[in-house]
Structure 1
Amino acid sequence: QSADQAIEGASRYLMQVLTTQIANGSNGFIPDPTYGYQCDGVPVGDARFWVIGRDTNLLTISGPGQVRFGLVDEGSKLNLNTAISNQLVWLPRMTADIAEAILDWRDTNGNGATVTFYPMQQPSYLCKNDPFETVDELRLVYGADMDILLGEDANRNGVLDPSETDENQNNQLDPGILEYLTVYSREPNTNSDGSARINLTTVSTTPAPLRSLLQTNFGSTRADQILSNLGLLASSSGSGNRPGGGGGGGGGTVAVRPFRGPLDFFILSKMTETEFSQVATNFTTVNGPFFEGRVNVNTANLMVLTCLLGGDAGAAQQLISYRQSNPNGLTSIAWVATALGQSYSTALQSLEGGDYVTTRSYQFSADIAAVGPHGRGYRRVKFILDTSSGTPQILYRQDLTHLGWALGAEVRKKLNAT
């Protein structure tokens, strides 16, 4: 009972942490446990709780026993409902058939190649043909067995425990695909003052809002330079300055292809990183109140970055190394272009091809484990917390106690000594 109460106390405490962060004007960023909150052996009465986390800056997966603590950024993962096939196929243990089955499951048209598999099962069921509601729903998808979903991480704590099998004997955890997937990532599709963002897919035909934004931030002369770089300001001859641009009347705008996303826009604009950071949050490529599925490149781990970069693990390592060396230079997605540069041009093109990345996060998982007095009464519950509406909410709660001890040998040793 004490452990149960500690779980409830921990969830309320973390909700208050997020409430305070929003009040301080920092919504959209994962709280830093180094400065902002407690998450390791926190006392609640005569019980204690831990928030099981991940270190996404590691260049290798955790070895035995190295449990991390803190909230986990759901925005650091691939979203099952928006990830494209060429991102999913790079996940560990993934096959082209399973990637296709995932797309079929969420596809609303019901015409996928795997839909006939489900009625033949005992008991039979139908392909959902609708978005995933949880990542555990993957257990229903064709080909996705528990080995593929969990890999070596049977208790889903992000480390290789003594009770788990190191299948390839590499002394490192090789998790399944659940480690890298979410269904919750979304961000507000409006500016902080509630005004509409500029849709980059239509700005080539309606450039006035962009012109106004650039003039307000950089002045008319610099704004015209940027618009010219983008092919949105006609030259004196009436020709577009951007590949794909057509001719037009002198002094007017010209027909150019739609921008594929903010990163594509930034590279073509030839803005500096500092300039782009002043306007970056003003852009979108979708309509509606929320943008679903962007991955936070400031917090994504090596595997997720590899998936985004078309399977280029070297480029993913470069991004993580750059993040660690330039922690104060990650204010917008522009740093990605700088980090990859000419050395990883093909990987960069994978990101330029769509609106895939962001530097903001609004959903966090709190994987809370608690132990009662004298090291007894273990409980574990995972919460999904969402701040995208401006008020913290609990979206999902899942009891994981049945997966067994998840706090590692060091915590057990300390508890046994008390």
Structure 2
Amino acid sequence: MLLRSKNEQPGSRTPRRRGMVLLAVLIVVAILMLVAYQFHNLMSAEHEAVHASNRVSHGRFVADSGLHYAAFVLSYPQSVGLNDAEGSILVSPIAIYHNPSVFQRRPVNAMLPRYQAYFSIVAPRDPEDPLAGSQPLRFGVEDESGKINLNALLQLDSTGNRAREMLQKLPGMTEESANALLNWVRASAVDESANGDMLYYSSLGYQTKYGPFESAEELLLVRGITPRMLFGNDLNRNGILDADESSGGFGYGLDRGLSRLLTVYSREQNVDSTGQPRIFVNDSNLQTLYDSLNTALGESLANFIVGYKLYSQSESNGSGGSGSSSGAGGSGGSGGGGGSGGGGGGPRQAGGGGGPGGGGGGGSNNNVQEGTLTRDDLDLTATSATSIGSLYELINAEFTITKDNRTTRYRSPLQTDDVSSLRDLLPEVLDKLTTSQAAELPAGININTAPREVLLTLPDITEEEVQNILDNRPTADTDPALGYLYRTPAWLLTEAGFQQDVVQRLAPYITTRSFVFRVQVIGYYEMGGPVVRLEAVIDTTGGRPRFLHWRDLSELGRGIDPRVLQTLGP
């Protein structure tokens, strides 16, 4: 018998369940799945972003390692063979121009293979380089001494006339722009153009600095200097003419602007190739001077230099003077010829001299014999002596000493007609001696690395002389063992055949030494990834590197594909 509920009526049906709770649960689960999926995507994207950010940061550290690596090898070039000779601290222009063994694909250790990274140090090739068209980049650094230092120009010529002439010879430089650059550096306004500049700057909300430039970008504050003039059409600073840089009214061919020709960073210490202070050739203590010269250059040169200071005198008018029993005749022109000697006078009166060659010689006594100077012929207790204005005066110089009615002529060991001897001795003289007591000299133009446009700005130089420099200076094909020949400007005489008076005229404006370098480092991963480009200017004077300028060029774009770095020739 079936039991029925009291409320159940005969013939009634049971209500149907519609599954609303199950449907609600399914909807909630779907929503939670979507939320979880969105959260997963968000976290995955965040993870990828953090990973990419870490790789970029790591790439920047890799590039930064390259900067510090460059600072070390340039400050201590002997550690990797970048110096110009054994025992020298000077960087060889041959070794830093294109040196893949030192500057290409330097590894930075990583814990995992996928994080293996490298850095390469690159620079644009010189337009005179035959490979510049096919391989615009090289593995090396850029020498700041190969440019005109704007801060040094007025140190060499306080009037600014010579500096103005040099600047106006640069491509695209107008007289107004040259005046504006010099007025910015001058201690005060000196002409109407400076007053006009003051009014112009006032309209922009700043004033003329009246002080040295501190960065290349500061030139953009100067009236008439535009970004196009300063940086040319190399918009991303990679040294390569990209597709978007060859259009837009920029013309044809790569143009790096004035930044390739001007600098504010170069320096030159008054030290020899070993880093020791040079010998001041006009030291009033002749005994100390003689001992130093004897140690550095040997007895022959020491005897002549001190004897030249004691017994000769150069005068700007080139006329010969009178000499006494121990006097000397004068020398005119470029160390050749002689003035009149002889005549009465007190002990050790010097005959006149003249011309850039200096020296004395050519007394009136016809019975003149050649002699070899010894230490006993020198009065090292003398309290006065001729001041040497230029070391090039010692070339072809001579003087005479008259004793017991006998006149003896003494000639300089530095003779232009004996190139072999001059090649050995003159570089040592220019390296070890100085006519200035200053610890630092006005930064000159490095004739070993300067481009043609910069060399053409040198005072009174001709295009033929510039071409002579370019043809005879060291190149990438020069034997590194010959680097010592180019340590001083002596090679202009011994290798390029320049006349002595020409080299002496150029001497205040030129150098062959480099202490400040511009470096561009590319940091990249072996298996692909972000590329970081950093640029810095490194001052290596005194073996204590300093970063004068630092910039992350990555903001200008990748610029250089790391795969291209693998295809560059040796």
Q: TM-score, normalised by structure 1?
A: 0.80
Paired with 2:340 and 2:63, the residues of 1 have a C-alpha distance of 62
Identity between Structure 1 and Structure 2 (%): 26
Paired with 1:198 and 1:367, the residues of 2 have a C-alpha distance of 38
Provide structure 2 residue ranges, at least 5 long, that are not aligned to the other structure: 1-55, 80-85, 111-115, 154-162, 315-322, 355-386, 398-411, 416-421
- Shift, 1:249, TM fit: 5.5
1:72 aligns with 142
- Which residue identity is paired with 1:137? E
SS in 1 for 2:152: coil
Matches within 5 A, 1:323-338: 323-324=473-474, 328=482, 329-338=485-494
2:170 aligns with 91
Paired residues, number: 407
Matches within 5 A, 1:199-214: none
* C-alpha distance 59-137 of structure 1, shift in aligned 2 (>3 A): same
Provide structure 1 residue ranges, at least 5 long, that are not aligned to the other structure: none
- Shift, 1:219, TM fit: 3.1
* C-alpha distance 366-105 of structure 1, shift in aligned 2 (>3 A): same
SS in 1 for 2:219: helix
- Shift, 1:85, TM fit: 2.5
The higher relative CO (CA closer than 8 Å, separation ≥ 6) is in: 1
CA contact (8 A) 1:28 1:360 kept: yes
* C-alpha distance 393-243 of structure 1, shift in aligned 2 (>3 A): same
Q: Select which of 224, 230, 233 maps to 2:304.
A: 224
Q: TM-score, normalised by structure 2?
A: 0.61
Paired with 1:246 and 1:403, the residues of 2 have a C-alpha distance of 69
Paired with 1:197 and 1:380, the residues of 2 have a C-alpha distance of 43
Matches within 5 A, 1:63-212: 63=133, 66-83=136-153, 84-112=163-191, 113-121=193-201, 122-165=203-246, 172-191=253-272, 192=274, 194-198=276-280
- Shift, 1:276, TM fit: 0.9
2:557 aligns with 404
Q: Select which of 3, 11, 16 maps to 2:72.
A: 16
CA contact (8 A) 2:234 2:245 kept: yes
- Which residue identity is paired with 2:70? L
CA contact (8 A) 2:444 2:509 kept: yes
1:58 aligns with 128
1:300 aligns with 450
* C-alpha distance 124-341 of structure 1, shift in aligned 2 (>3 A): same
- Shift, 1:50, TM fit: 2.4
2:524 aligns with 371
SS in 2 for 1:355: helix
- Which residue identity is paired with 1:129? Y
Largest Rg, 1 or 2? 2
Deviates more, 1:66-75 or 1:184-193: 184-193
Aligned-residue Cα RMSD (Å) equals 4.0
Deviates more, 1:232-241 or 1:133-142: 232-241
CA contact (8 A) 2:137 2:239 kept: yes
- Which residue identity is paired with 2:550? R
CA contact (8 A) 2:177 2:223 kept: yes
Paired with 1:290 and 1:339, the residues of 2 have a C-alpha distance of 28
* C-alpha distance 141-260 of structure 1, shift in aligned 2 (>3 A): farther
SS in 2 for 1:81: helix
Deviates more, 1:85-94 or 1:21-30: 21-30
CA contact (8 A) 1:306 1:315 kept: no
Q: Select which of 292, 312, 322 maps to 2:462.
A: 312
- Which residue identity is paired with 2:73? V
Deviates more, 1:365-374 or 1:36-45: 36-45
- Shift, 1:178, TM fit: 0.8
